[in-house]
């Protein structure tokens, strides 16, 4: 280790144990090491600035507060999560329940007729076959022959699905007919509620729901319609 290297090493780290060997008996080197060690002592003292009073306590306090807030937030989170799950379950079960209530086309048909009252049944127009067919075209269907007077033919909302609502002349009175696009989750069945009888059938492109207050009219209307309504492929 030459003189320059030695000085560099001492200035880099005066407390390095390796230096003792390099210093040896050289008085000049010993004096230099001593000088730099003294400088280091001064630097150490000068760097040792006083720490603000109570810093340690403030650090501990801040952490305690942080933990406290965290805990509170966590319990809030749990409460919120609980409330959310309850609301979720409630939502699911209500939907399920509603779904079940109206999961039958024939029941829905009766409900529709009941709800509507005289609005459609009271109509007494004479709608031509071509007018009906213009509306049936939407479902890809066509009525080939006249099946009696048609009092009413309009699109309606059948549980949020656009459908065709017809009121036709049956043997014993007016018969309500709904032509509904195929809907998933609906049973094709029959239902009776009060004086109302209803049956649903699947045709090739749509379902047919017939509602009448005379049971035999339902079956007859069904026979008539299945012969006279055709769906294009």
Partner 1 sequence: MFWRKQNKEASVSSDMANKQQRYEALVLALHADIFRYAYWLVKDKAVAEDITQETFLRAWKSLDTLQDEKAAKSWLITILRRENARRFERKQFDLVDIDDVAIIDEQLSSEVEIEHRELRAIMNALSDEYKEPLMLQIIFGYSGDEIAEQLNLNKNTVMTRLFRARNQVKEALEKANEHRGRQNG
- Residues making contact with partner 1 (CB under 8 A): 8-9, 11-14, 36, 39-40, 42-52, 55-56, 58-60, 62-63, 66-67
Structure tokens that stand for 221 in this block: 């209307």
- Beta strand pairing status for 196-202 and 190-193? antiparallel
We find the least distance from the C-beta atom of residue 54 to partner 1, in angstroms, to be 11
We find the least distance from the C-beta atom of residue 94 to partner 1, in angstroms, to be 30
Nearer to partner 1, 41 or 162 (CB): 41
Nearer to partner 1, 28 or 195 (CB): 28
| Cα distance between residue 168 and residue 163, in whole Å | 16
DSSP structure class, residue 184: T
Contact 179, 163 (CB under 8 A): yes
Cα-Cα end-to-end distance for the chain: 101
Question: DSSP characters for 69-107?
Answer: HHHHHHHHHHHHHHHHHHHHHHHHHHHHHHHHHT-BHHH
The C-alpha angle 194, 108, 117, rounded to 5 degrees, equals 60
We find the least distance from the C-beta atom of residue 222 to partner 1, in angstroms, to be 59
| Cα distance between residue 27 and residue 132, in whole Å | 122
Nearer to partner 1, 56 or 82 (CB): 56
The C-alpha angle 77, 82, 86, rounded to 5 degrees, equals 150
Nearer to partner 1, 52 or 117 (CB): 52
We find the least distance from the C-beta atom of residue 85 to partner 1, in angstroms, to be 19
Nearer to partner 1, 27 or 46 (CB): 46
We find the least distance from the C-beta atom of residue 200 to partner 1, in angstroms, to be 50
How many angstroms separate the Cα of 121 from the Cα of each of 49, 118, 140, 161? 97, 5, 25, 21
We find the least distance from the C-beta atom of residue 77 to partner 1, in angstroms, to be 16
Nearer to partner 1, 9 or 183 (CB): 9
| Cα distance between residue 140 and residue 205, in whole Å | 7
């Amino acid at each position: 280790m030459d003189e320059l290297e030695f000085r560099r090493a001492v200035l880099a780290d005066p407390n390095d144990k390796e230096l003792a060997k390099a210093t040896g008996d050289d008085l000049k080197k010993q004096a230099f090491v001593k000088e730099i060690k003294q400088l280091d002592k001064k630097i150490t003292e000068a760097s040792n600035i006083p720490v603000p009073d109570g810093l340690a306590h403030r650090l501990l306090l801040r952490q305690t507060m942080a933990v406290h807030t965290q805990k509170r937030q966590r319990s809030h989170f749990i409460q919120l999560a609980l409330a959310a799950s309850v609301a979720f379950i409630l939502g699911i079960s209500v939907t399920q329940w509603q779904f079940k209530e109206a999961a039958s086309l024939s029941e829905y048909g009766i409900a529709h007729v009941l709800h509507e009252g005289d609005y459609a049944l009271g109509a007494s127009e004479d709608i031509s076959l071509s007018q009906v067919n213009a509306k049936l075209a939407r479902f890809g269907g066509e009525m080939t022959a006249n099946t009696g007077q048609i009092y009413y033919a309009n699109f309606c909302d059948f549980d949020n699905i656009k459908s065709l609502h017809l009121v036709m002349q049956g043997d014993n009175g007016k018969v309500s007919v709904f032509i509904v696009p195929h809907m998933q989750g609906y049973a094709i069945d029959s239902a009776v509620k009060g004086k109302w009888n209803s049956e649903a059938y699947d045709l090739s492109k749509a379902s047919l729901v017939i509602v009448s207050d005379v049971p035999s009219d339902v079956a007859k209307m069904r026979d008539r319609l299945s012969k006279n309504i055709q769906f294009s492929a």
